[in-house]
Every structure is written in structure tokens, then in C-alpha cells.
Chain A
């Protein structure tokens, strides 16, 4: 057998393929989304101008809530998957690795719920 045909590996890990593709596509999408957010909120405006009324005014437009929901979910999942790669790289002990991933998943589930409820519920004036 002098030549080797290019063969598809058997038992392709579908989840890892999807995770890899997600990092690429969400990464491209996050560039305008995150840089737009940073430019508007952190550079043109600043934390010295932002208060709860600012958030209320911004979220009175549904478009900005959808924008922020996009940030929450796309960036959150991109970061969570990135964290999973980092955990895999530095913790060879399978039990510890699994435990850390479970903790990360719980923390992020909490963050997604927190952010989504706030986006739907909106600003409650004190």
C-alpha cells in the first residue's frame, strides 16, 4: 500500500465539530456586536455618564434589548466553550476536569438566567 487514501475518521465527535464551528461563526458575529457595544457604551459614552436612567432609556427600544440579548448569549456561549478548552488543557485529572466543567456550566446557567430575566423584565426604577 504505497498510497494512502484520505479516509474519514470513524466515530466523528459531532459535538466537538459543532463547538469548533460555533467558535468561528460566533467569533465573526461578535466582532461587530462587541466592538459596537464597547464603542458606544465605553468610548463615546462612558461609565461617568451611565446611570440607571441611561439603561432605562436605552432599553425602552426593543432593538437594544435584542442587541444585548445577542451579546449575552453569543458571547456567553463563546466564552463558556473557550473556558472548556482551557480546563481541558490544564487539568489532566478526569474527575477534577469534569467537576470544573460542571461548576462552569452552573455559573453560566445562572448568568444566562440572570441576564435574560433582566432583559425581559427591564428597569425597575428604585
Chain B
């Protein structure tokens, strides 16, 4: 545990700039997606094991905190996918490492660009159905 704490403290002190941010983002997005994956398999499997409880899960997912989580999930997956492609691309063409900063910033920009419509549409569903801002 002490090692985990010192690792995390080191991560905060280490000034790796955008490269470190890309790495940390990839890890966080992966772990977050994994957490939802486990929950999502459990909720979907209730259609067979406990069919009367499926709607309980859906009811929980329709709440505001889970709506925020769902939007974060989609952004996480988009980032994890794009950053994964960046890693594959730079492994495939090591000479492109001279442009690594551009690739990383491009990944961030592309994530924002592709996430924007998803966030707007999903946010719209949530706002409409939760009756927010009325």
C-alpha cells in the first residue's frame, strides 16, 4: 500500500507533459470502462437469471449520476481507441516518433471532436428524460 501511495505521488511529481497525460488517460479510461463492463454484464445477464430485476438496473441507469457516468464512458472508449491507434501507429513507423507531440495532441483533439456529438446527443436524452433545466 505504501508503494502504491509513493507510486501515485511520483506520478503527480513526474512532469511528463502530454506523453504522461496520454498514458495516464489511457489507463484511467481502460480501468473505468472495465468497471462498467463488469457491471453491464451483470445487469444484462438478469434477463435470463432474474428477469423481474432487469428494469431495476435500467431504472438506476436512467438517474443523473449514471447518465454522467454513461457519457464519461463513451468519451473514455473513444479516447482509449484513438490513443491505442496512436500507439500502434508509432510502433509501426518508429521514424514518426519525431512528431510524437503532434500525434498526442492530435489524439486529444480528435477525441474532443468525435466526443462532441455523442456528448450532445446523450446529454440531450438525459436532459429531456430527466426533465432538467425546465
Contact = CB atoms under 8 A, between A and B. Distances in A.
Interface of A: 24, 27-28, 30-31, 34-35, 38, 42-43, 46-48, 50-52, 55-56, 59, 72, 75-76, 79, 82-83, 86, 89-93, 107, 111, 114-115, 117-118, 121-126
Contacts of B51: 52, 123-126
Across the A-B interface, the 9 shortest Cβ-Cβ residue pairs: A118-B45, A79-B34, A118-B48, A126-B52, A121-B48, A46-B125, A126-B51, A115-B41, A123-B47
A114 B42 contact: yes
Interface string B60-100: 01100001001001100110010011001000000000000
Q: Is the interface of A mostly helix, strand, loop or mixed?
A: helix
Nearest to B59: A47
A118 B33 contact: no
B118 A83 contact: no
Contacts of B44: 55, 115, 118
Contacts of A111: 38, 41-42
26 contacts: A27-B84, A34-B81, A35-B78, A35-B81, A38-B73, A42-B73, A43-B121, A47-B61, A48-B125, A51-B54, A79-B37, A83-B34, A89-B7, A90-B3, A92-B3, A93-B3, A107-B38, A114-B41, A115-B41, A115-B44, A118-B45, A118-B46, A118-B48, A123-B48, A124-B51, A126-B51
Contacts of A52: 47, 51, 54-55
A79 B118 contact: no
Contacts of B67: 47
A69 B118 CA distance: 25
Contacts of A83: 31, 34
Contacts of B70: 42, 47
Nearest to A31: B81
B111 to A, nearest CB: 13
Contacts of B49: 114, 117-118
B74 A43 contact: yes
B77 A38 contact: yes
Contacts of B48: 117-118, 121-124
A47 B56 CA distance: 12
Given A47-B62, A48-B62, A107-B38, A118 B4 contact: no
